[in-house]
A and B are shown apart, each in its own frame.
Chain A
Amino acid sequence: MRKDYNLEKRKFVIGGFITVLVIIYIVRLFTLQVSDSQYRKNADSNALLEKLIYPSRGLIFDRNDSLVVFNEPAYDLVMIPKDVMPFDTIDFCNTLQISREELDDRFEKMKKSSNYSGYTQQIVANHLSQQDYGRIQEKLYRFPGFFIVQRILRHYNYTCAANILGDIREVNAKDIERDDYYRPGDLTGDLGVEKSYERYLRGRKGVEYLYRDALGKIKGRYRDGADDVEPIAGNDLHLTIDMELQQLGEELMKGYIGAIVAIEPKTGEILCLVSSPNYDPSLLIGKERGKHYAELVRDPSKPLYDRAIMAAYPPGSTFKPSQGLIFLQEGVINLSTMYPCSHGFVNAGMRVGCHGHSSPIALKPAIQTSCNSYFCWGLKRMLENKKKYGSIGQAFEVWKKYMVSMGYGYRLGVDLPGESRGFIPNTAYYDKALGKDKWVANSIISDAIGQGEILATPLQIANLSATIANRGYYITPHVVRYIAGVGVLKRCIERHDTDIDKSYYEPIAEGMRMAVTGGTCRKANIAGLEVCGKTGTAQNPHGRDHSVFMGFAPMNDPKIAICVYAENAGFGASVAVPVGARIIEHYLKGRPGADKEDAAKSGKKGAKKK
């Protein structure tokens, strides 16, 4: 046969074609496999299911190591929409014991949620009971893409201290944006120490890497769990709060709106922080949380509002000791300086009323009898001393600086969210409100008796009491004694010395002691305890006067400093003083031993339940 050599050359075209193609494919393989690592990541996100393991949240104990808050497991049914296969909805509804409409409704809501993603866990039903959990778990294999995650629910051994403990809620979009630790469905502290100590309480989530096939079925552990991360349990909190005292405080304040703050002066530890009215912290857990929360928000008496640290009240006469300190420090008065009181401060057509006592009067008796006139004269003398200060404005700035050094006008920095700073006006404020150079001492004279523009939180008032008890310094008040495994946070126990000389505190304390033994706070006179006190009867535009008590005891080795503030309850002596006295007496006399245990038990509700 004749060979056509021209045609035979064509084998090179055909052979060359497939050779070039194979080379192109090899180059392509190289770019896919060797030079691009993205595919490996995609493969992992395909096949690896990151299953989160939630750590147990830190427990909370009180100052006597009594368990206050603990955890119980709860179960959520979740789905990963991408992995869900068509399923028998009737069977599913029966298993969940919900109606078809409700199921559709839930899916609808889920899809509308801003957190919705086909690739992440979406909650179908939360807070399942143990029985529901068992029933659903058994049938779950029929519904690929659905699974159950375990979470924790908080449980409370006491019905009190909700304002301190706070609660936990599901994170919202803002939380997730702010802190990338959170995933939709996670829990975070909402109020109280649950919020301010969230970082310590929450611990660290663990991760388990599992293989999942294209149908979403779990096929085993990735690398036999070599990359898994164990969850780390949250740190326990030990509070400074004495739950027994807290319990008593809340009972005593029943029927009143207001607050009690008790501080151990030497340490700044808050012994009780009562806000009234209060609520049972157990209301804000589980399925019903939303409903109860809405009710609490709507309640006109605002139980969610922690009056002890958020409410700014006129301090009334409890302010007077601070004024005496400033006047002594600035040399406006000395211990023998006397001012007249003709049933009040009368000057230049201005009158601030007072009550019956001898006149003229010196500092200690003025505190004892809560003389308005004395402190008005003192402030007037100070502000009008142009020789020393130059102008009333500069004099007032000096005054303000002392107040700030005593913890007024700014947040004290308590370790709870939402603290108010109260209000101490400055020169600029009055220049603006009354006009520059248009105001004189008389214009603002009621500041001297804790009225006027002055506002303070019950915490600030209690803190003033602690400062006097310490004779000149205070430790930042705080509610957490220490965090297990972490210790004491330094910022919580800073010592603040006031700008007032220590020696001036003693006469003030003596004045407050006199008020108890023979003045306005006689109801606080407890045998065997040298109680020092100061009443307050704060006028306010909302009706009856507020009843205030500020005190500490014992006088020479103070163990407790206190402020009781009862809104619209009338004279300080009528409500606040007896309440304060009970707290002081209970704390100092009802000492450890059998009675304490009993009291603690009666206050606990969880003990019987469990």
Chain B
Amino acid sequence: MSNNENNNLLKSVDWFTIILYFVLVVAGAVSIYAATYNFDKVSIWDFSGFSGKQFMWAALSFLIGLSLLLIDRRLYEAYAYPIYGVMIILLIVTIFIAPDIKGSRSWLVFGPVSLQPAEFCKFATALALAKLFSTYGFALNSWRNYAIAIAIIVLPIICIILERETGSALVYTALIFVLYREGMSGFVLFAALCAITYFVLVLKFADVMFMGIPLGMVLVFIIIMVLVVAMLLFYCRSLELARNVGLGYLACGLIAAITAYFGFVINGYAFFFTVIGLSIGYLLYGMLHNDMRKVQMTIAFALVSVVFMFTVNYAFNNILQDHQQKRIKVTLGITDDPKGVGYNVNQSKIAIGSGGLTGRGFLNGTQTKLKYVPEQHTDFIFCTIGEEEGFVGSTLVLLTFLTLILRVLVIAERQHTAFGRVYAYCVASYLIFHLAINIGMVLGMCPVIGIPLPFFSYGGSSLWGFTFLLFILLRIDADRATYGVW
């Protein structure tokens, strides 16, 4: 490697991202010091303590980052599949040889050092996916290509679920954003969003009755009706159909309201089945004059939505395991369980809430210091920030993360190659998922899924995993001018 090349690297590497990375890692190690600070412990550098170790991991991760920057990007591209293969094998081996640590078999123990291969498989999967999309002529335009792309994503998920690390496995589902960016129909995202909304509403309002049926169902029926009208308007682009169906729904709703006012409450199932049935009948008739396929899709959407809604309750009670049901119920506020499953979240909310506007001050938090919040230095590290640095500090941390993610998106879109772009989107997706789920969990807004907050949560594997992801991206980005432009 010549001096010239090094100079180019110093010039072309994205210093902004490196600074954000550096800030987050240092803030993370300091937070761990605060989270594990005890009244008798003194030094932040003590290598037997969590913060000392984290500083050590951080120092090593800077070295790793530097090394990664020095590796030619062609190597990543050339060895993407082998790296992916090795990682999958490592994951499979881990299933069999890993010791049982708190019910999970995801750690490889080498003497004093333990590594979690699942963290390193993230960049390998990203490389493989990037390699796939950079294959000449590859596009998401056939079932076969979809299948290959999905297989690359699903393979590590299966392995990691077998290691009983469901949280880490779910991270890979975030790669759906990559598929979306590369041409997957937006309808899939839309459907996923609808499914989540239905699920939450049906479960959350399962016990409140309205029109003789659970309120959750009523709400979902109404949403389905609104969405049908919206689809007719924006997707089928038929003002006539949308107007007629919409006015029909309103009229029926008015009739139901008037009869209810005079003391006769129409049964919800009868009402909604009749109304939606009538509208579907009308649409079948209307298909004759409009774009058949798009109206079909709308009808299919309505029918699938209704079926899905009825399936949710059944699925929830019969497919999910007990502790998963509980976690979801606690998150949705259906059951309150501050001593059991809800303990973490409740304590976490108390810790964050007690921070106030400016926090209790560094090392002055009581909830985290006195160990009321479990996993406070790993998955619940954000509590320490919330309690000690308050609204101001936590908001700053969130905004820094947001800036990093948006920066990665900017980097992604300035790539000239599918390889660079897809890889960058993978990095962004992982970050989005980790941030969304970890913070959502700590704030009691989504189920407790044990995944770390990148750069903050204690642990070398997580930190190094994200270092790999980010610095490979930086190297690819640094070389963007040299590649892909013909």
Chain A residues in the interface with B (C-beta under 8 A): 1, 4, 7-8, 10-11, 13-15, 17-19, 21-22, 24-26, 28-30, 32-34, 36, 38-40, 42-44, 46-48, 211-215, 219-220
Contact = CB atoms under 8 A, between A and B. Distances in A.
B398 interface: yes
A449 B413 CA distance: 117
Q: Pick from A19, A30, A39 the residue with the most CB of B within 10 Å.
A: A39
B38 to A, nearest CB: 8
Interface stretch (B106-114, B216-224, B353-361, B450-458): B353-361
Contacts of B350: 39, 42-43, 46
11 contacts: A7-B183, A28-B445, A32-B353, A32-B443, A33-B353, A39-B349, A43-B350, A43-B366, A213-B370, A214-B370, A219-B370
A29 B395 contact: yes
A19 B370 contact: no
B440 interface: yes
Given A39-B354, A42-B350, A215-B371, A33 B181 contact: no
A43 B353 contact: yes
B29 interface: no
Given A29-B395, A29-B443, A214-B370, 11 more contacts: A14-B177, A14-B409, A18-B436, A24-B445, A25-B443, A32-B349, A32-B443, A42-B350, A44-B354, A213-B371, A215-B371
Interface string B383-409: 000110011001100110110011001
Contact of B386 (A19, A24, A33): A33
A331 to B, nearest CB: 83
Contact of A1 (B183, B351, B406, B418): B418
Contacts of B189: 13
Contacts of A17: 432
Chain B contact patch, size range = 35 or more
A28 B186 CA distance: 28
B353 A42 contact: yes
A361 B418 CA distance: 137
B443 A28 contact: yes
Contact of A22 (B177, B180, B398, B409): B398
B409 A33 contact: no
B180 A10 contact: yes
B366 A46 contact: yes
Contacts of A36: 353
B39 A219 contact: yes
B352 interface: yes
Contacts of B183: 4, 7
A567 to B, nearest CB: 62
B328 interface: no
A550 to B, nearest CB: 69
Interface string B117-161: 000000000000000000000000000000000000000000000
Contact of B398 (A4, A26, A34, A46): A26
A44 to B, nearest CB: 8
A359 to B, nearest CB: 91
A32 B366 contact: no
Interface string B415-427: 0111000000100
A19 to B, nearest CB: 6
Nearest to A21: B436
Nearest to B416: A1
Contact of B352 (A7, A11, A19, A32): A32
Main SS class of interface, B: helix
A221 to B, nearest CB: 11
Contacts of B354: 39-40, 42-44
B323 to A, nearest CB: 21
B34 interface: no
A19 B417 contact: no
Contact of B413 (A8, A39, A212): A8
B181 A18 contact: no
Contacts of B401: 22
A25 B405 CA distance: 16
A34 B357 contact: yes
Contacts of B391: 29-30, 33-34
Interface of B: 39, 177, 180-183, 186, 189, 347, 349-357, 366-367, 369-372, 386-387, 390-391, 394-395, 398-399, 401-402, 405-406, 409, 412-413, 416-418, 425, 428, 432, 435-436, 439-440, 443, 445, 484
B435 A18 contact: yes
Contacts of A48: 366
Contacts of B406: 15, 18-19
A159 to B, nearest CB: 52
Contact of B432 (A11, A18, A219): A18
A16 to B, nearest CB: 10
A39 B395 contact: no
A520 B119 CA distance: 111
Q: Pick from A13, A14, A46 the residue with the most CB of B within 10 Å.
A: A14
Nearest to B486: A1
A34 B356 contact: yes
B398 A40 contact: no
Nearest to B443: A28
B477 to A, nearest CB: 15
A524 to B, nearest CB: 75
A15 B355 CA distance: 29
A38 B346 CA distance: 12
Contacts of B402: 18-19, 22
A44 B366 CA distance: 8
A281 to B, nearest CB: 46
A48 B370 CA distance: 10
B328 to A, nearest CB: 18
A411 B370 CA distance: 58
A438 to B, nearest CB: 69
Contacts of B405: 15, 18
A21 B432 CA distance: 10
Contacts of A26: 395, 398
Contacts of A30: 391
B399 A22 contact: yes
A29 B394 contact: yes
A25 B418 contact: no
Nearest to A25: B439
**3 pairs of A and B residues whose beta carbons are closest in the complex:** A39-B353, A43-B354, A213-B370
Nearest to A28: B443
A7 B353 contact: no
Contacts of B372: 46-47, 213-214
A359 B436 CA distance: 114
Contacts of A213: 369-372
B218 to A, nearest CB: 25
Contact of B39 (A8, A11, A220): A220
B366 A47 contact: yes
Contacts of B425: 14
A460 to B, nearest CB: 61
Contacts of A214: 370-372
A386 to B, nearest CB: 78
A18 B404 CA distance: 11
Contacts of A211: 39, 366, 370
A484 B369 CA distance: 47
Nearest to A33: B391
B249 to A, nearest CB: 28
A7 B422 CA distance: 13
Contacts of A33: 352-353, 355-357, 386, 390-391, 394
Q: Pick from A33, A38, A214 the residue with the most CB of B within 10 Å.
A: A33
Nearest to B418: A1
Nearest to B402: A22
Given A25-B439, A29-B395, A43 B181 contact: no
Contacts of A28: 443, 445
A213 B409 CA distance: 43
B370 A212 contact: yes
B39 A38 contact: no
A327 B42 CA distance: 93
Nearest to B445: A28
A44 B412 CA distance: 47
